[in-house]
Amino acid sequence: MRPPVGAPTLTRRTRILLAVAGVLVLLLLGGSRIINFYIDWLWYGEVDFRGVFSTILFTRIVQFLAGGLLIGGLVALSLWIAYRSRPVFVPLSGPEDPIARYRTVIIQRLRLFAIGIPVGIGLIAGLSAQGDWQVVQQFLNSTPFGTVDPEFGLDVSFYAFQLPFYRLLLNWLFAGIAISFIVALVTHYIFGGIRLTGRGGQVSGAARAQLAVLAGVFVLLKAVAYWLDRYELLFSDRNPLFNGATYTDLNAVMPAKLILLFISVICAAAFFVAVFRNNLQLPAIATVLLVLSSVLVGAAWPAILQQFVVAPNAQDRESLSIERNIAATRDAYGLTEATVTEVDYSGETEATPAEVRAESATIPNIRILDPAQLTDTFTQLQQRRTFYGFPETLDIDRYEGADGTVQDYILGLRELNTAGLAGNQTDWINQQLVYTHGNGIVVAPANQVNAALDDQGGEGGLPRFTSIDTTNSMSELIPESLRVEQPRTYYGELIQGYSIVGAPEGAPPVEYDSDTEQFTYDGAGGVPLDNFVNRLAFAAYYGERNILFNSSINENSKIMYVRDPKDRVELAAPWLTTDSDPYPAVVDGRITWIVDGYTTLANYPYAERTQLGEATADAIAGGPGVRPELDREVSYLRNSVKATVDAYDGTVTLYEFDESDPVLQTWMKTFPGTVQPRSAISESLNEHLRYPEDQFKVQRDLLTSYHVDNPGEFFQNVSFWNVPSDPTPAGGGTGGLAQPPYYLLAGEPGGAASGDPRFQLTSALVFQNRDILSAYMSASSDPETYGQITLLQLPPDTQELGPQQVQSRFVGTPEVSQELGLLARNGQSTVINGNLLTLPVAGGLLYVEPVYIQRANEDSSYPQLARVLVSYNGRVGFAPDLASALDQVFGAGAAAEVPEVPGAPADDTAPPDEGSAVPNVDPGAAPDLAAAAQGIQAAIDQLEAANRSGDLGEVGTALQALDAAVEQFQAAQGAGTGG
């Protein structure tokens, strides 16, 4: 069709310019996406997980096309039918009829509207559809659980993998029919099939037929939705006490769904009949019937049954549902009889020194170093350079010593701390090409310090450091299990941004490594920058032109990015939820990050739903919501994957750990070859696998309720427990956050006193609304017993103090409070309470808490172990070292197996009376020793009177008198023993 005479036309040059402008606009809008796509493609190639990237990409493309074609196709079909069935003649409602103008515009550009509307809606629908790739892949690769639900007898895989897909497909059909209905309605109105003029308006037969069919199909889909709703009742949260179908759900809501299903089918039939009848009365009546039935049958009847039948007899009515909930929850979270051993434990006993010495698996290994408090100590004494650093909370693991015994160590990776670079270190060359890596790993035995801290401070109370780095990685002093081939670390938690490494052979190295030498990276990590395309892509991605023009970047250069080990695992396996605490270990001579990966499900029939953010929050990890990916509910959790990330070359390896997990098997079928079999886990790696903290916290939270197996007792919740809040102010106790679990090397809980120690994750539990200890939970990390949970249950009438009460007793003991005041030195030092450990010992429960001091108001200060607090059966010990504190509580010789601390005073005293601050003195002792003891008592009485008066001057005088009395007693004691 030729343009009218005189109408402006576009020249060939103008058309070319417009086309170029259009391409530039598309590049501006989609260029960043293209670059991001290419950068991701290169990264997945580096870690050899490109199959994951391509599978996800292909799935999303197919879903985009399927969603777009489904919705766009339905809209196009609806438009075509509506337009083809339009009236031939449409009378105008007046000279200014706006609909006529719209109709004219559409007819003049019919192809644009006919194609543009379906395509536009299809694009929007496709973009929305491609986000649910996990649901589709789980459906396509579904693996049976071999467990059926108790109501319908269907395999759990139906609820885990198939039902979500059916619901997703149904929702898209709902959307497609609804949009098609609206499009048909608007089209018929514009082209005269529906007119609002005249009494009641007019609807053509074609318009009525099309709209009736669409409405009928919609109602049929609603019938299918009612059918699926029946299965989703097994996830009901109607009862706040438990999840799962309640008595009301089973006996009112479920029958109501079937009734509404049949009514929906009748209603749909009424709409289809309306196609052949010239009125809409029948479908209108059917619609009203459906709405009334939804209100009366679907809402009112369940409410009446709940109020008058269930509520007055809830314990009996809900017993079946509670029983199902208990069984399903234990199964979904791995708390079955096969994994949890419940042991009755008295918790109250009088242990003799000999009985304590017999606890050879526990007493010698008691940990006095708190990994949450020693970062500053590691940093100040082992940092070496300001741009190196250690994580906020150090890690703990066990290694075999030269004598063949297993020892737990506090350890921290000396990483490159990008935030520590200063001055010209932060320019582009230094930050990206020179300061590229950390150097080594620092370890210290968890049960030892270098020397006792004397009253004047000094360098006592410090960890016995061993630094494994480039200068001494093969030193004879380092145990074989801790020796590493390559101590340099390019991947870690503190490294931010990217680094460019590599140089031609023979070229001088530029990476900082130590004061005396530089280094050139020769590992497999990083993406090559050996071509212009890659350099251009990264220059655009980071907005840095130096990547293109810097002469140091050559054909051997590589760029390292995505350097946090947890981020690397999450990208390589986007179907995993990772534990919040990756930890480094020396595995087969290499520094390796170990990351625990979880498979989860949102809906497991009858299982309790857990909010991950709340369940994993504690005084160290922080409050709920710290990690956004944990702000979601799950009803199934398995630690199915152990992942490793090499600290030198960034290699990501996934190992199958829970071979019975059908969710893992489903993902392994989705991404074949990405997860190595469990048999591929080396012996060295197996020795360093830990029971993961997040899983333990979730299970601990659930066991506070689900240790109860009687439905009636569960309903009454009188036997429920609580996770205690952290009692130590330094750990966040004042904020009411949960006490974190602790890794310990100790004997088997409730087992034999002797034997090999077990590396385990432990936690105390208290009765609900009481701080009395109710249970002790331990999960083994040893290869032979990995995953075995032991639950020591105390009797309901026990009076064993919980962590909060023990801490109160510590603070309330006069000797302790006064010595803590002395340690503070009138504000010159800060007293820091370490972790309060709970240990089953000799039939009772031993509490141990290290106490640190740190000089106040000094940036270079660090915590030093000053004292150790011990409590057992109401008795309190407080001494500069663990052995002395244990001897105070149990008697001389109880701590014979505890490692000696250089400079620690000998302590041959008998156990003090409960709450006493005065040393016990044998009645036959020398008179001057007895007089010195009485002097201490008099000084304590003076200090208590001064505290009550509130006179700071009197308090200071009393403290000086107490110091003098203590010195006099020590002098008399030394004279009495021959000096």
C-beta of residue 85 within 8 angstroms of C-beta of residue 206: yes
Integer Cα distance of 322 and 709 in angstroms:
9
Q: Which residues contact 582 (CB under 8 A, 6 or more apart)?
A: 493, 565, 566, 593, 594, 595, 596, 645
Integer Cα distance of 80 and 78 in angstroms:
5
Structure tokens at 720: 């429920």
Query: How big is the chain, counted in residues?
Result: 979
Q: Which residues contact 623 (CB under 8 A, 6 or more apart)?
A: 617, 737
C-beta of residue 176 within 8 angstroms of C-beta of residue 70: yes
Integer Cα distance of 552 and 546 in angstroms:
10
Of 328, 311, 393, 326, which Cα lies nearest the Cα of 743?
393
Q: CB burial class (10 A; 0-12, 13-18, 19+) of residue 259?
A: middle
Give me the pLDDT at residue 660, please. 94
Collapsed DSSP state (helix, strand, coil) of residue 377: helix
C-beta of residue 342 within 8 angstroms of C-beta of residue 707: yes
CA-CA-CA-CA torsion for 375, 380, 382, 387, nearest 10 degrees? 90
Give me the pLDDT at residue 460, please. 87
Q: For the chain, what percentages of helix, strand and coil (3-state, to nearest 5) are there? A: 45, 15, 40
Q: Looking at the whole model, is its pTM more than 0.85?
A: yes
Strands 488-489 and 438-439: antiparallel
Q: Which residues contact 682 (CB under 8 A, 6 or more apart)?
A: 587, 588
Integer Cα distance of 848 and 368 in angstroms:
8
- Tell me the CB-side half-sphere exposure of residue 486, using CA atoms within 13 A: 17
Q: What are phi and psi of 78, to 5 degrees?
A: -65, -40
Integer Cα distance of 838 and 663 in angstroms:
36
Q: Which residues contact 129 (CB under 8 A, 6 or more apart)?
A: 63, 64, 66, 67, 68, 172
Chain CA centroid to CA 902, Å: 41
Integer Cα distance of 630 and 766 in angstroms:
26
DSSP letter at 175 equals H
Structure tokens at 915: 């709450």
C-beta of residue 640 within 8 angstroms of C-beta of residue 333: no
Integer Cα distance of 491 and 435 in angstroms:
13
Integer Cα distance of 918 and 939 in angstroms:
10
Q: H or E element: which one contains 20?
A: helix 12-46
Q: What are phi and psi of 527, to 5 degrees?
A: -100, 130
Q: What are phi and psi of 405, to 5 degrees?
A: -85, 155
Integer Cα distance of 178 and 167 in angstroms:
16
C-beta of residue 619 within 8 angstroms of C-beta of residue 731: yes
Listed in order, strand segments (DSSP E) in 316-457 are 340-344, 388-389, 395-400, 406-413, 415-416, 438-439, 441-445
Integer Cα distance of 771 and 116 in angstroms:
68
C-beta of residue 103 within 8 angstroms of C-beta of residue 82: no
Give me the pLDDT at residue 979, please. 35
Q: Which residues contact 637 (CB under 8 A, 6 or more apart)?
A: 332, 333, 334, 598, 599, 600, 610, 695, 698
Integer Cα distance of 845 and 346 in angstroms:
9
C-beta of residue 807 within 8 angstroms of C-beta of residue 728: yes
DSSP letter at 443 equals E
Give me the pLDDT at residue 282, please. 84
**Averaged in consecutive runs of 10 residues, what is the pLDDT profile of the chain (979 residues)?**
49 76 70 90 96 96 95 94 80 62 77 88 92 95 96 97 97 96 90 70 83 94 96 95 96 95 93 82 85 90 94 94 97 96 88 87 94 94 93 95 89 93 92 95 94 73 91 74 93 95 90 87 95 94 93 93 97 96 95 97 96 90 76 94 97 97 98 96 96 97 96 93 86 68 93 85 94 95 95 91 91 86 81 94 93 86 94 92 92 79 58 44 53 66 56 56 65 50
Give me the pLDDT at residue 828, please. 82
